[in-house]
A and B are shown apart, each in its own frame.
Chain A
Amino acid sequence: MTTVIETRGLRKTFGTTVALDSLDLTVRQGEIHGFLGPNGAGKSTTIRVLLGLIRADGGTATLLGRDPWSDATELHRQLAYVPGDVALWPNLTGGEVIDLLGRLRGGLDERRRAELLEAFELDPTKKGRSYSKGNRQKVALVAALASDVPLLLLDEPTSGLDPLMEKVFERYATAARDEGRTVLLSSHILSEVEATADHVSIVRAGRIVDSGSLADLRHMTRSTVDATLARPLPPAEVEQWPGVHTVRQDRDRLVLSVDTSAVGDVVGRLGPHGIEALTCQPPTLEELFLSQYRDELTGEPGAAPAEAEVSA
């Protein structure tokens, strides 16, 4: 598969604030790439660099094999962008904006435009100023999804959408991928990424701290093993087993946090003690995400994120 987006050592500072700190991102053709991170991690800055709206201070960025700053206009023919906070012209209707953006991009698929308006339940005759946040978001989404372009850059596109509309979005994002289009989906809504993304990159303080397919990421982190044993084991002993991190005992039940790669081994060791019940849960994306930020949540206040770096 060819690489659609590639950044190497991307750096961007605003005054004394380091927004991007050597960011390496790779997005391959035909995938939905979840770009995860909390507010202020550098997601929007990355996307703006990729759009050529701002210029990186260091490192390289390549979009469809070209430089996003110097070839911006050429590249923009092949992509559609949805910002996280869509601003509309107060006196233009939603329908006018959809047509305008479509024409400025080089054409809309009429059939899909009509279909999307219906699916998103958007009234195209209302003026920009009378749309709610969610409806402004829909205007940009319809314009982007109805454009016939190979690349979609979506920066928290569903902010302000209700859960039903999020599902509609997920359906069309997946459909776009199935047509062979590439989607960079920045988000902090984990369920959305989990439902759609083939590949996930977690960004933190301006750099990618983890990247891989969901299966890869899961494998690299811990699963939860919940075992009820006929002959209880002392937790102190279990903690010594390779791959076991924490052990919690609840009468004859043991709840273990185990490296996913060590699950088989651990279950094997539990076997001789008479397993009466056993569940094994792979980590959810939320747990993956939180594991990258755990030290920030539990660490001492004031610990600088840059120092509290975690790698999986």
Chain B
Amino acid sequence: MSTFAGTGALLRLAWRRDRWVVTSAVLAMAAMAYAAMAATLDLYPSDAEAAAGARLMAATPSVAALYGPLPSLTAAGVGVLKTIMMGSLFAAFLAFALVRRHTRTEEEEGRLELVGGGVVGRRAPLAAAVSLAVLSVLATGALSALALLPTGVDPVGSVALGVTIVVAGLVMTGITAVAVQLTTTTRGAGGVALAVLGLAFVVRAGADTSESGQDLVYASFLGWAERVSPFGDNRLWMVLPALAVTAALLVAADVLLQRRDLGAGLWASRPGPARAGARLGSPFGLAWRLHRGALLGWTIAYAVLGSVVGSLAASVSDIASSPGMEQMLRKMSGGQGSVLDAFFGTELRFLAVGVAAYGITTALRLHSEEDAGRAEVVLATRVTRWSWLASHVTIAMGGALWLLFVGGLSAGAAAGAVSPTGVGELLPAALATAPAVLVCVGLTVALFGLLPRWTPAAWGLLAAFLLLGEFGALLELPDWALGLSPFDHLGSLPGGDANPTGLAVLLVLAAAVTALGAVTFRRRDLAT
């Protein structure tokens, strides 16, 4: 039996399971690429007008940190800026989710064993998952490139955008393929792969905001994607190093796969204690045990991320020190606060979106515990539904607040060493984003109570909030539509005014949706 036998059948099975999700994700990405470009061309009908507006944008450090440099001072260059990094991250997440879902998750749940008994080669599951991810990434790149054509922009630039997306998606496919061989759990594999992605983003952001270390950007695969530079230098050949690295990663994954048993990882699981510790005797003790590893990982990540963002304060101050630039940037940031404040305001908001992702993934444990039948065992003891739910929600919300604290503190400490902005400004600013994060966790709980099978749709809500914030203003959406995102009501800290009314409303909303979820969960059947 060939070690690849059954790859086609598994690929069809994977497609059958994911066809709607993949199709809608790919179409949504292409639609966003088109909408961003069309709206920009509407705003800047000529390259000259775009150049005037874009000089400001290119000089803003927070823009460079998030999206990278402008590919060119043209209308099309401005129109593609956000799509470059958002599209790269999108393709990376898509590839990550698909590869992990059809390899390690299947193995952990024991379903791979079911198909593995049939005519399925050892390499087939990984080959099928990688094929699905690569095809999805290629489709995303191709459709995003095609979507730009009706706007009348240069076709070569459109192709280059497609290449940008493909570069990020391919390399992440390889990274995930290796990560799923290392650990025995889906969560562990996700931690490894996402840590690499996060590191790639931080390295890229650091390089793009520094004066001298620009070339460091090539140390990150997201940097390669960015430096394809669509509608700028159009370096289509950047796909070649990406192909080479992807191939090398896939070979490494294959070698690891050949060396391990089904269900095992390279990092073997060791025997543990025969007796439970004193704390493992209450629903909260159990929840803490289940979540503490992830919280520790996130804490380290946020300490590092906060320090990196904080230390960018030095180069941001340099760039903004020329008086003319200072005035222009101040005008752009709405007149409130300094350039540095505007920079940190944007960065902290993105840190908050990350913390919301932590809160959602932690609250989703309610769903996975119920789905796997582990909730049933606990709820058949004297543990009430209320205390079981509260144990997970407390850690989701408390952990989120803790991460905001860690991020704000480390950013403030790092920034305080090189600039006038420090802990006193950044810690309150970071904590002021908490109400929006708590709303995201609360919405997850509400979904869990009302529509248990659809709880993971919380990710869709967070994606929608992110897209509203990123592209909503560009698409000239009405205020009420922009206001649907809780992150739209956070005020403008540091430097500017907090929005006490908005924050209070968000807190009440968070409490209300959480209570709704708790009440509906107590009244419904447990899904089994």
Q: Does the CB pair B528–A53 fall under 8 Å? A: yes
Q: Mark interface residues in B242-263 (1 if CB within 8 Å of A CB, else 0).
A: 0000000000000000000001
Q: How far is the CB of B329 from chain A (nearest CB, A)?
A: 49
Q: Count residues on chain A whose CB falls below 8 Å from chain B CBs.
A: 42
Q: Mark interface residues in A57-86 (1 if CB within 8 Å of B CB, else 0).
A: 000000000000000111011010101011
- For B373, the closest partner residue in chain A by CB is A87
Q: Does the CB pair A95–B377 fall under 8 Å? A: no
A residues 102-116 in Cβ contact with B at 8 Å? 103-106
Q: Does the CB pair A53–B380 fall under 8 Å? A: yes
Q: Does the CB pair A76–B373 fall under 8 Å? A: no
- For A50, the closest partner residue in chain B by CB is B380
| Set of chain A residues within 8 Å of B381, measured between Cβ atoms | 76, 101, 104-105
| Set of chain B residues within 8 Å of A119, measured between Cβ atoms | none
Neighbour of A73 across the interface among B263, B382, B526, CB < 8 A? B382
Q: Does the CB pair A87–B281 fall under 8 Å? A: no
Q: Given A53-B526, A76-B382, A96-B280 in contact, is the A101-B273 Cβ separation under 8 Å?
A: no
Q: Does the CB pair A129–B528 fall under 8 Å? A: no
| Set of chain B residues within 8 Å of A85, measured between Cβ atoms | 373
Q: Is A274 in contact with chain B by the CB < 8 A criterion? A: no
- For B381, the closest partner residue in chain A by CB is A104
| Set of chain A residues within 8 Å of B271, measured between Cβ atoms | 93, 125-127
Once the chains are docked, how many angstroms separate the CA of A77 from the CA of B286? 18
| Set of chain A residues within 8 Å of B374, measured between Cβ atoms | 87-89
Q: Given A85-B373, A104-B281 in contact, is the A95-B380 Cβ separation under 8 Å?
A: no
Q: Is A180 in contact with chain B by the CB < 8 A criterion? A: no
Q: Does the CB pair B372–A95 fall under 8 Å? A: no
Q: Is B418 in contact with chain A by the CB < 8 A criterion? A: no
Q: Is B195 in contact with chain A by the CB < 8 A criterion? A: no
Once the chains are docked, how many angstroms separate the CA of A81 from the CA of B108? 25
Q: Does the CB pair B382–A99 fall under 8 Å? A: no
Q: Does the CB pair A129–B269 fall under 8 Å? A: yes
Q: Does the CB pair B526–A83 fall under 8 Å? A: no
Q: How far is the CB of A112 from chain B (nearest CB, A)?
A: 15
Once the chains are docked, how many angstroms separate the CA of A88 from the CA of B382? 18
- For A113, the closest partner residue in chain B by CB is B275
| Set of chain A residues within 8 Å of B286, measured between Cβ atoms | 100
| Set of chain A residues within 8 Å of B383, measured between Cβ atoms | 73, 76, 104
Q: Does the CB pair B185–A129 fall under 8 Å? A: yes
Q: Is A27 in contact with chain B by the CB < 8 A criterion? A: no
Q: How far is the CB of B231 from chain A (nearest CB, A)?
A: 48
Q: Is A51 in contact with chain B by the CB < 8 A criterion? A: yes
| Set of chain B residues within 8 Å of A55, measured between Cβ atoms | 525
| Set of chain B residues within 8 Å of A86, measured between Cβ atoms | 373, 377
Q: Is B274 in contact with chain A by the CB < 8 A criterion? A: yes
Q: Does the CB pair A106–B382 fall under 8 Å? A: yes
Q: Does the CB pair B377–A90 fall under 8 Å? A: no
Q: Does the CB pair B281–A127 fall under 8 Å? A: no
Q: Does the CB pair B528–A91 fall under 8 Å? A: no
Once the chains are docked, how many angstroms separate the CA of A90 from the CA of B185? 8
Q: How large is the interface on B (under 10, 10 to 19, 20 to 34, 35 or more residues)?
A: 35 or more
Q: Is B272 in contact with chain A by the CB < 8 A criterion? A: yes
Q: Given A83-B377, A104-B281 in contact, is the A95-B525 Cβ separation under 8 Å?
A: no
Q: Does the CB pair B108–A129 fall under 8 Å? A: yes
Q: Does the CB pair B185–A99 fall under 8 Å? A: no
Neighbour of A96 across the interface among B276, B379, B382, CB < 8 A? B276
Q: Does the CB pair B185–A100 fall under 8 Å? A: no
Q: Does the CB pair A92–B269 fall under 8 Å? A: no
Q: Mark interface residues in B473-493 (1 if CB within 8 Å of A CB, else 0).
A: 000000000000000000000
Q: Does the CB pair A93–B274 fall under 8 Å? A: yes
Q: How far is the CB of A93 from chain B (nearest CB, A)?
A: 4
Q: How far is the CB of B35 from chain A (nearest CB, A)?
A: 39
- For A133, the closest partner residue in chain B by CB is B110
Q: Is B9 in contact with chain A by the CB < 8 A criterion? A: no
Q: Does the CB pair B528–A48 fall under 8 Å? A: yes
Q: Is B215 in contact with chain A by the CB < 8 A criterion? A: no
Q: How far is the CB of B257 from chain A (nearest CB, A)?
A: 19
Q: Does the CB pair B275–A104 fall under 8 Å? A: no
Q: Does the CB pair A140–B377 fall under 8 Å? A: yes
Q: Does the CB pair A127–B269 fall under 8 Å? A: yes
Once the chains are docked, how many angstroms separate the CA of A119 from the CA of B501? 64
Question: Most chain-B CB neighbours within 10 Å: which of A86, A91, A100, A153?
Answer: A100
| Set of chain B residues within 8 Å of A98, measured between Cβ atoms | 276
| Set of chain A residues within 8 Å of B379, measured between Cβ atoms | 51, 53, 72
Q: Does the CB pair A81–B384 fall under 8 Å? A: no
Q: Does the CB pair A87–B382 fall under 8 Å? A: no
Q: Does the CB pair B373–A95 fall under 8 Å? A: no
Once the chains are docked, how many angstroms separate the CA of A124 from the CA of B382? 24
Q: Is B283 in contact with chain A by the CB < 8 A criterion? A: yes
Q: How far is the CB of B237 from chain A (nearest CB, A)?
A: 44
Q: Is A261 in contact with chain B by the CB < 8 A criterion? A: no
Q: Is A54 in contact with chain B by the CB < 8 A criterion? A: yes
Q: Does the CB pair A95–B526 fall under 8 Å? A: no
Once the chains are docked, how many angstroms separate the CA of A73 from the CA of B273? 29
Q: How far is the CB of A167 from chain B (nearest CB, A)?
A: 25
Neighbour of A130 across the interface among B269, B282, B373, B376, CB < 8 A? B269
Q: Is B19 in contact with chain A by the CB < 8 A criterion? A: no
| Set of chain B residues within 8 Å of A51, measured between Cβ atoms | 379-380
- For B372, the closest partner residue in chain A by CB is A87
Q: How far is the CB of A103 from chain B (nearest CB, A)?
A: 4
Once the chains are docked, how many angstroms separate the CA of A91 from the CA of B289? 9
Once the chains are docked, how many angstroms separate the CA of A180 from the CA of B369? 34
Q: Show 7 residue pairs from A and B whose CB-CB distance is below 8 angstroms, ordered by the A residue.
A: A81-B380, A91-B269, A95-B274, A96-B273, A99-B280, A104-B281, A124-B274
Beyond the given pairs A90-B185, A97-B276, A105-B382, 17 more chain A to chain B contacts, judged by CB atoms under 8 angstroms and listed by A's residue number, are: A48-B526, A51-B380, A91-B269, A93-B273, A95-B275, A96-B273, A99-B275, A99-B281, A103-B280, A104-B281, A104-B382, A125-B272, A126-B271, A126-B272, A127-B270, A129-B108, A130-B269
